[in-house]
Amino acid sequence: MSSVAPAQQSGPVAEQASASTARVAEIRRQADGVVGIVLTDPAGGRLPDWAPGAHIDLVLPDGTTRQYSLCGDRWDAHAYRVAVLREPSSRGGSAYVHDSLREGDLVGLGGPRNSFPLVPAPRYLFVAGGIGITPLLPMIAQADMVGADWTLLYGGRSRNSMAFLDELGRHGDRVRVAPQDETGLLDLPAFLGTPREDTRIYACGPAPLLDALADATADWPSTSARTERFVARERSGSGSDSSFEVTLARSGRTISVGRDETALEAIGAAGVDVLSSCRQGTCGTCETTVLEGRPDHRDSILDDDDRQAGDCMYPCVSRAVPGDRLVLDL
């Protein structure tokens, strides 16, 4: 992922996200290959409120759209901060940000949206891998502000590649910095300790780290750990792509979703717009309320309890359980 960007796309898909305009007020190096960008309203006005875990769509002047976690001060209504990692293979997006974006440029802005919210808890364990530190920074600020007991385990390739170490330094022993070239892979079992009912675990980073965290928290209560993935999970759900019917409750229309199309595409073809962005089930933009029927969830956002509840779905990837039909609040 480019920074904490669940997904990326360009062209027509980018236009699906509603975008206002922001000005690049500051670009600052945060680590090797990482720049921090401060965005402001071009007219000096307030920006929409957000909460820890939220991300925005950034529509770059070259037409690409990327999602980035907000990593600044949520109480500053006049500035957003994101951090962008240069992806080695990038030819758009992060390369554009690093090579071409300049202070004063205008960019499109969508969101903020939050599919990784921080729930109240007396104790938090935060786990970050590389640029995955970004959504956790405002969570840490919040946890600190409310006096929660919290600890961060922060891994990265090397100290030089790890952004925001200077800002985190003020928290002393609460922050455990573990560069791989000094200490090896993160020792998650040692960090997590014994399962505790009062503790919430928030993690963001590359897939191998999150997979290791899933293994390490297997004995924890099912609601303990929340993670944000940069790219879509290996496909979950039933795996079959049979056709199914969707009824749009507000108009009463029923449309058929073919086996080779997504529900989002079929709904769009029927002339009903659902806001979308990543189209990979990672950004949360297309969240839709389910009124009836059982969704076959294939997103990378919902946890097991959310899936069990079955009252919302992401139609860019999710379908109906084979043989069932869905009634959606559209």
CB closer to ligand FES out of 168 and 316: 316
Buried b (16+ CB within 10 A) or exposed e, 254-286: eeebeeeebbbbbbbebebebebbbbbbbbbbb
Burial class (CB in 10 A: 0-12, 13-18, 19+), 159: middle
- As measured in angstroms, the least distance from the Cβ of 276 to ligand FES is 4
For position 90 contacting ligand FES by CB under 6 A, the verdict is no
Q: Are 71 and 83 in contact (CB under 8 A)?
A: yes
| Options 126, 285, 298, 330; binder of ligand FES; rule CB under 6 A | 285
- As measured in angstroms, the least distance from the Cβ of 76 to ligand FES is 27
Span from 18-26, 83-91, 227-235, 271-279 in contact with ligand FES (CB under 6 A): 271-279
Residues 307-326 that bind ligand FES (CB under 6 A): 314, 316
For position 278 contacting ligand FES by CB under 6 A, the verdict is yes
What mask, x for binding ligand FES by CB under 6 A, covers residues 106 to 145?
A: ----------------------------------------
Span from 37-45, 160-168, 204-212, 275-283 in contact with ligand FES (CB under 6 A): 275-283
- Helix, coil or strand: residue 171: helix
Q: What's the Cα-to-Cα distance from 205 to each of 97, 164, 214, 322, rounded to whole Å?
A: 21, 15, 13, 33
Binders of ligand FES: how many residues, by CB under 6 A?
13
| Options 53, 112, 130, 284; binder of ligand FES; rule CB under 6 A | 284
Question: How many other CB atoms sit within 10 Å of the CB of residue 63?
Answer: 14
For position 288 contacting ligand FES by CB under 6 A, the verdict is no
Residue type, 174: R
| Options 66, 98, 200, 279; binder of ligand FES; rule CB under 6 A | 279
DSSP letter string, 172-225: GGGEEEEEHHHH-S--HHHHH-S--TTEEEEEEE-HHHHHHHHHHTTTS-TTSE
For position 200 contacting ligand FES by CB under 6 A, the verdict is no
CB closer to ligand FES out of 199 and 288: 288
CB closer to ligand FES out of 55 and 74: 55
Tokens of residue 35, six digits: 């720049």
- As measured in angstroms, the least distance from the Cβ of 53 to ligand FES is 15
Q: Which residues bind ligand FES (CB under 6 A)?
A: 276-279, 281-286, 299, 314, 316
